[in-house]
Every structure is written in structure tokens, then in C-alpha cells.
Amino acid sequence: MAIKTALAVIALAGLGAAAETVSTHAQVPQPCGSPVMVYENTFKRLDARNAYVWVDDISSDGRRSYKPFQIVVVVGTAYAPFRAEEGRLDRRGFDSLMKSAYGLTQSNGTVSDAGLARGIGIRFTSARQTFELRVASVNPGRNDAVRLQLCR
């Protein structure tokens, strides 16, 4: 009887270890690239087909605080939405370009202190693959910028 009980305990312990392994694998984070710095009023090409991010003006005190601002992922279905890898583009120029362009999708996100604490990410699709652009940090200062990380 003691042998059967010991075997049952070993079998249950083995099942617990297998269940633990499955839950660990289910929670594996998406692989992410290295964070990149994107300055305010600029666009930058992402490592996804015809995908770019544009960062609006970041109104900051130059030290630590900033007002909420917008970032937009723009994906071209047939062509790249911008003609360069990166460049300066203010809100007025961005809005004008988006009105005149066709075949583009936009995914918007608002960056704020509260949102950053919860984790901000913008999901988008490019070439039938889903990505998430995560906000790693905001760097207010003389050259306001945001650090972004592209995850697959």
C-alpha cells in the first residue's frame, strides 16, 4: 500500500511540473528589438514592411515632466508613406500628408505618465504580421524624445 501511495505522489508531482512548464511557455514575451530614440516632430522607419512611427510635439518643462502627446504608426499597403528613413515633420505637415495620401493605415496612441506606468503599446499589422510598438520611456529635455521598442 505504501508503494502505491508513493507512486501516486510521484505521478502527481510530475503532472504539476508539466503544468508549470506549459504556463511558463505560454507567458513568454514577444521578442523585441533594441529600443530606438525618436525625437519630437519626427518620423522614423520601423523594422516592418512600409511601417513608420511619427511623434508629435512633446511639450515638456525640459527636466522631468511633459504633457500627454501622440504617437502614430503609419503603414503603407502598397508603398512607404514617407520618402526617407527618418525626418522632421510637424503636426501641420503630418496632417496634410495624411489627408492627401491613400492606401495607409494609422494606429494612434497617447503617451502620458499614467499610461507609461501601465505600459503603452500600439498594435499594428504590416505584411500580414502583427507587431507592437512599446513606449520604453520619455526623455524630456532640450531635445524632447521618446524611446520605442518594436516587438513581434
Report pLDDT digits (tens) over 27-51. Answer: 445 689 999 999 999 999 999 999 9
Confidence of residue 7 (pLDDT cuts 50, 70, 90): very low
Judged against a pLDDT cut of 50, whether residue 60 lies above it is answered with yes
DSSP SS3 for 149: strand
Query: What confidence tier does 142 reach under pLDDT thresholds 50, 70, 90?
Result: confident
- Written as one letter, the residue type at 75 is V
pLDDT at position 8 is 35
Rounded to 5°, angle at Cα 145 from 141 and 150: 150
CA 5 – CA 39 distance, rounded (Å): 65
Of the chain, the percentage scoring pLDDT greater than 70 comes to: 80
**What local confidence, expressed as pLDDT, does residue 51 receive?**
96
For residue 126, the cross-strand partners are 129
Confidence bin at 23 (pLDDT 50/70/90): very low
Residue spans of beta strands (DSSP E) within 1-152: 36-39, 42-45, 51-55, 69-76, 86-88, 104-111, 121-126, 129-139, 145-151
